[in-house]
Amino acid sequence: MGRPSSKVADAPFTICHVIKQRDENPNQSSQHSLPKADEPPWSNPLAAYIHIPFCAHHCCYCDFAVTDRHDHLMDTYLDALACEIALLETPRPMQTIFIGGGTPTHLQPTQLQRLLQVVRTWLPLEAGGEFSVEANPHGLTEAKVEVLVQGGVNRFSLGVQSFQPAKLKTLERDHRAEDVECVLALLRRFPVTISLDLIFGVPGETVHDWRDDLRQALALGPDHVSTYGLTYEKGTRLWKQRQRQLVQPVDEDIELAMYELAMDFLAGAGFEHYEISNYALPGCRCRHNEVYWANNAYFGFGMGAARYVAGRREVNSRSLDTYLRRVLAGQPATFQSETLSPEESARETMALQLRRSDGIERPQFKKRTGFELDAIAGSQLARQVERGLLLDDGTRVRLTRRGKCLADAVICDLL
């Protein structure tokens, strides 16, 4: 919701590059050949993602699986979700649940209630579990927050993106800075963790604008902040505007300065930079996203949702019509699937874990993948250490500050 698609809350989507082939027979979904509960977390899912594709407006930069023209199908979609989740056949206790989108809070309170009832039945949250919902500042009413919190939600991820009117206009966001303040005041009345999403590198934006966004975000006292550089995803309206030179991307050096500014600004306010794009106060990391970065297993339900169960990756159809038709007919909505070889899986684990400030711990990596880290990437790691992009203390490998700025290139080199 409200982010460029590099966001790893959409790890289901960002890892799609590893899904190279379409199933000949997508009916043969493995979602429901479930591993046993005593299997390790990279095989047995303890996390679930649920996708709600509805948005009030399809923002120009967004290439998520969303729709702004089918509100009349919201109830039918919830019927389909209930059918898809019920294919589990037996309730599966979860440590983390993440309802994302789209805009989950575009649903009405009674619809949210229905959704939460299904989640409670099939994906009961373990004691102490994390239950996140993405929300837009615009349209998040007290009635919706009450329903969500009563239904077990304890973390809100708000698609703020900016406090600057010009930036919000370029991004086609439908809220004002004042709306964010009101929503924060509302959420603070409930026992929930609050995360703010911000975007930098928007056409016309200056480092000064970005500093002001960071300052205004921190003034609201969030527990967690995610910052994303704007990306021009092929096919989006923003991408087309760029093709026609109607918008001018921010200079790379300026974007880098913005990234470094966020690092310094948020660290100065006591936030831990625990993943390339994510910052948390102590104890407030997003545990659900940490599942993706550990390359552990997770369920995924809904249009375009991805899952990783027992070593098999699957993605549901991104077509609302296909998703509804298949699921309501009792069939899986799987569109693409792939089982990675052990070595491919190990390389993917390496790429994902390197995003974390904790980096890759060699003994844990061996236990997780069956491979010695150095056996699959020893020379590349040494090269990046020499370039000052990685730190290697013999046990753990992690990105340096400069490495974080060039993370995509470092990770590409390792793959």
Contact region for ligand SF4 (CB under 6 A) — 32-40, 95-103, 194-202, 240-248?
Answer: 95-103
Determine the Cα–Cα distance for residues 3 and 125; give it in Å rounded to an integer.
Answer: 26
- Residue 101 or 359: which CB sits closer to ligand SF4? 101
- Residue 8 or 410: which CB sits closer to ligand SF4? 8
Q: Residue from 58, 211, 312, 387 that binds ligand SF4 (CB under 6 A)?
A: 58
Q: Residue from 66, 83, 306, 315 that binds ligand SF4 (CB under 6 A)?
A: 66
Contact region for ligand SF4 (CB under 6 A) — 21-29, 57-65, 212-220, 339-347?
Answer: 57-65
Q: Which amino acid is at 408?
A: D
Nearest in space to 359 (alpha carbons), one of 344, 377, 342: 377
Binding-residue pattern over the window 8 to 27 for ligand SF4, x denoting contact by CB under 6 A? --------------------
Binding-residue pattern over the window 147 to 186 for ligand SF4, x denoting contact by CB under 6 A? ------------x---------------------------
* Side-by-side strand order, sheet with 299-301: 272-275, 278-280, 224-229, 193-200, 155-161, 125-135, 94-101, 47-52, 299-301
Q: Parallel, antiparallel, or unpaired for β 334-339 and 312-316? A: antiparallel
User: Taken in order 348, 19, 52, 178, is the CA torsion positive or negative?
Assistant: positive
For the CB of residue 43, give the shortest distance to ligand SF4 in the complex, in Å.
31
Q: Which amino acid is at 67?
A: T
For the CB of residue 20, give the shortest distance to ligand SF4 in the complex, in Å.
26
Q: Does residue 137 sit in helix, strand or coil?
A: coil
Determine the Cα–Cα distance for residues 200 and 228; give it in Å rounded to an integer.
Answer: 6
- Residue 13 or 131: which CB sits closer to ligand SF4? 13
Strand locations in 254-294 (E): 272-275, 278-280
SS3 percent helix, strand, coil of the chain, rounded to 5, is 40, 20, 40
For the CB of residue 246, give the shortest distance to ligand SF4 in the complex, in Å.
19
Q: Which amino acid is at 134?
A: E
Determine the Cα–Cα distance for residues 274 and 205; give it in Å rounded to an integer.
Answer: 26
For the CB of residue 296, give the shortest distance to ligand SF4 in the complex, in Å.
25
Contact region for ligand SF4 (CB under 6 A) — 51-59, 214-222, 263-271, 401-409?
Answer: 51-59
C-alpha distances (whole Å) from 15 to each of 3, 292, 308, 338 are 16, 10, 11, 12
Q: Which residue is nearest to ligand SF4 (CB)?
A: 62
Q: How many CA atoms lie within 13 A of 158 on its CB side?
A: 32
- Residue 230 or 333: which CB sits closer to ligand SF4? 230
Distance linking the first and last C-alpha atoms of the chain: 29
Size of the site for ligand SF4 (CB under 6 A): 13
For the CB of residue 269, give the shortest distance to ligand SF4 in the complex, in Å.
26
Which tokens belong to 102?
């789209």
Binding-residue pattern over the window 126 to 145 for ligand SF4, x denoting contact by CB under 6 A? ----------x---------
Q: Residue from 30, 95, 103, 278 that binds ligand SF4 (CB under 6 A)?
A: 103
Q: Does 377 interact with ligand SF4 (rule: CB under 6 A)?
A: no
- Residue 224 or 398: which CB sits closer to ligand SF4? 224
Residue 83: other Cβ atoms inside 10 A:
19
- Cα 54 versus chain centre, distance: 17
Contact region for ligand SF4 (CB under 6 A) — 14-22, 52-60, 78-86, 354-362?
Answer: 52-60
Contact region for ligand SF4 (CB under 6 A) — 53-61, 139-147, 297-305, 313-321?
Answer: 53-61
Q: Does residue 38 sit in helix, strand or coil?
A: coil
- Residue 168 or 280: which CB sits closer to ligand SF4? 168
Q: Which amino acid is at 243?
A: Q
For the CB of residue 157, give the shortest distance to ligand SF4 in the complex, in Å.
11
Q: Does 70 interact with ligand SF4 (rule: CB under 6 A)?
A: no
Does a cis peptide bond (omega within 30 degrees of 0) precede residue 102? yes
Q: Does 107 interact with ligand SF4 (rule: CB under 6 A)?
A: no
Burial 133-144 (b: 16+ CB within 10 A, else e): bbbbbbebeeeb
Q: Residue from 2, 45, 304, 359 that binds ligand SF4 (CB under 6 A)?
A: 2
Q: Does 317 interact with ligand SF4 (rule: CB under 6 A)?
A: no
Q: Residue from 102, 137, 222, 302 that binds ligand SF4 (CB under 6 A)?
A: 102
Name beta bridge partners: 14. Answer: none
C-alpha distances (whole Å) from 202 to each of 152, 252, 379 are 35, 12, 37
Contacting positions for ligand SF4 (CB under 6 A): 1-2, 55, 58-59, 62, 64, 66, 101-103, 136, 159
